[in-house]
Structure 1
């Protein structure tokens, strides 16, 4: 072992603040904490190891309600402790706060992330919760009819043409003896905004920056209505159709591939945090950007989205209905499909990042990606930063510049500079390391970044 990871943490000595790390491991996938090792995993020894071995089990039990296995180890005559924490099936808190281990970072769960975590630990998700104020009168019959038609074409459900709205909702697990689920209203509601105020999509047309707003629209309705309504707004009002000719044939296509736009919007509608803010779609002269509330699942990272990965839906009921209706697949291929559509249209790969408590997906015109950095935003990036910007986007390029100027900075310090989460910065760093432009020298604390000019 030569580095800390999702499941391993090294500490020189014990401090009661490390109960947060134990709490984080228990709430996540479990892990091991070694007391008496430096940041490179070398044994430094632990004074009064036997006394700590006697005291820690009671302290951990009293503070966290856990009984981890604690082993006294020895290497080259130096004693150290190994604390083995198993993943807990119930939420574990420390003095009323909940912690989670993500990558090599411990983070406190708050707000919507905490609500999602508690629901998950109870074996539930937000879309499964019953909306007690809703009745079958709140269900839109026209959307039910549309879904039946789409599902028949997809062939992923048996014949449902003869089912009533109530029977169909029961079959899709959206209606129980206790009432309608949140998913039922998001998918088929006449007015989901009556129950959830931020279910709408806001579209804005900007110039080259976020200050230069030209006009905007708001689309409201259930998920299927939003999908249709937003795509219509984009095609009719917000995007242009450049004209080209193949031989004598006149061809008009949107400036961005429709399959990529549709997949972006579907991903946002299916996987968003419906307790958060509205979906925001920004159309600029040289790019289109979509933000939806809710960070990636803790098991995923931006980097993993571009690799083969399993589907981890935030709203499994909503995702399952959309799959049965033929709107999405169930294999975690959304980003792959967006990327393929962009490549087929001659556009760069989509830019994806976690930002402001949500996920941003951005499509860039080919002409914009070919401009120099100074033409884009006036920032004086070097040649390497220019390449990073083109391959990974502007935010990883900014992180690279900070590393170049401050090689001693940790991920947490870079996060403070860019107003990002440490997890997002770790994703950027992983890309930079994979690209071969930075190398870590020395331990996590006290080490530095070497930039490969």
Structure 2
């Protein structure tokens, strides 16, 4: 008769038998209960597969060597299995032989929710061995067995006090919903859970600090030094609710790329960004919505001299190829609840068209769009190209870029100084920075070395009253830049 070890109420029955089935996908031998950590791992592995039995007190050759059963021995192993597996596993146990030379049989049933974790790692049984799973594989198995995607799982520990009301108001405004809509109605409408049990999507979209629950749910941005893959002029790690991450990533791109003025005959010139705003926004939005939040790594926005890249943790779905991204294809949202909420904000216009919208937005500026996967990351690359001369009937935005000498971060500073001397902190505010960053200091130092600007207090370079002004050389350069834009 079998019994189930649930807590400390363990009873045993002695069975006289010395034949043991060979080790396999559902059988494992252990010599002693001192191997309890391996026993816990195997219990989790069996539960992630089709169940199985561990025989403790059996040699590697399959011979009975027995273990001594003392008071509390079985309760101890049952408790170790329970507290070190997730979901907790409650084994059934039989004992063969006398207490001083017993063989302990630990039987585990298959768990309905897979995979089962042991010591904080997902594990499964393959043949005669236990194998730890990668995060993406564990997530795929979980979705199959539960019918739920990662964003629909309950976020453990997240409660109403963790919700950023400002983020909720921002969502209501963007989605066109009434600002008076109650939080409970918003959660219910988006299927984000209940007021007591919130889903992962809630924490990402409305959490004050989603990174408290998902450490790598952030965006890292960098503007690299010309010709370098390791040094950068500006960098920032962006945290907070998802829509705030999007806005601040877009602001970083705007601050670290250039703008061209195109004369159209209208009272005001058209301003053409170096990379189409619609394409950049689509790439970052897709990364935030469709990244694998179970994978190690953060979203990255990389700006080089000749291209802009958005790196997104997670591979393409198995039935979607790179080639299909260049044509109309079926939608494969990894996080459908999250994507559905963002869809309401009009940041996503139609399912399955994101990559095509990026391509279409880049076409007028002759920017090549490349998609690729590398080291478990999906990459969108917007690459500037040099085209031949266009017909005299009109200039494209790409030509305007090639001919305008468009404005960079350094040129923005020179324009500010043309009005009059200003301090580094004032420069930071007027160029969209929160503080005087290391990148801004490098830009100022570069302009000083080039002789385009000079300090107002030369003898005290670190004075709190220090400001900078334009030199004649800087004024001449700026004049030439302005004239080039008018031609």
Q: 1:220 to 1:95 in 2, by over 3 A?
A: closer
**2:273 pairs with 1:254:** yes
Q: 1:92 to 1:164 in 2, by over 3 A?
A: closer
Partner of 2:206: 188
The gaps in structure 1 that reach 5 residues or longer are: 1-63, 66-88, 99-107, 153-158, 371-453
Partner of 1:361: 380
Indicate if the aligned counterparts of 2:115 and 2:124 stay in contact, CA closer than 8 A. Answer: no
Partner of 2:394: none
Distance 2:115 2:206 in 1: 36
Partner of 1:118: 141
Distance 1:179 1:340 in 2: 41
Q: How far did residue 167 of structure 1 move?
A: 2.2
CA RMSD of aligned residues (A): 2.8
The number of residues matched between the two structures is 267
Partner of 1:418: none
Partner of 2:190: 172
Q: 1:326 aligns with which of 346, 360, 368?
A: 346
Which segment drifts farther, 321-330 or 139-148? 321-330
Indicate if the aligned counterparts of 2:301 and 2:308 stay in contact, CA closer than 8 A. Answer: yes
Give matches, 1:264-343, under 5 Å.
264-275=283-294, 276-343=296-363
Q: How far did residue 280 of structure 1 move?
A: 0.9
Distance 1:366 1:293 in 2: 27
Indicate if the aligned counterparts of 2:114 and 2:142 stay in contact, CA closer than 8 A. Answer: no
Deviations 1:108-129 (A, max 9, x none): 9941221221122120111111
Q: How far did residue 252 of structure 1 move?
A: 2.4
Q: How far did residue 160 of structure 1 move?
A: 4.7
SS at match of 1:274: coil
Q: 1:223 aligns with which of 228, 235, 242?
A: 242
Distance 1:201 1:289 in 2: 13
Distance 1:364 1:347 in 2: 5
Deviations 1:391-432 (A, max 9, x none): xxxxxxxxxxxxxxxxxxxxxxxxxxxxxxxxxxxxxxxxxx
Q: TM-score, normalised by structure 1?
A: 0.55
Q: 1:362 to 1:137 in 2, by over 3 A?
A: same
SS at match of 1:124: coil
Q: 1:164 to 1:332 in 2, by over 3 A?
A: same
Q: 1:141 to 1:299 in 2, by over 3 A?
A: same
Partner of 2:170: 146
Higher alpha-carbon Rg: 2
Q: 1:129 aligns with which of 136, 149, 153?
A: 153
Indicate if the aligned counterparts of 1:130 and 1:178 stay in contact, CA closer than 8 A. Answer: no
The gaps in structure 2 that reach 5 residues or longer are: 1-48, 51-111, 117-122, 389-487
Indicate if the aligned counterparts of 2:329 and 2:352 stay in contact, CA closer than 8 A. Answer: yes
Indicate if the aligned counterparts of 1:208 and 1:286 stay in contact, CA closer than 8 A. Answer: no
Distance 2:282 2:315 in 1: 18
Distance 2:272 2:312 in 1: 26
SS at match of 1:253: strand
Distance 2:313 2:115 in 1: 26
SS at match of 1:179: coil
Deviations 1:46-92 (A, max 9, x none): xxxxxxxxxxxxxxxxxx97xxxxxxxxxxxxxxxxxxxxxxx9989
Q: 1:96 to 1:136 in 2, by over 3 A?
A: same
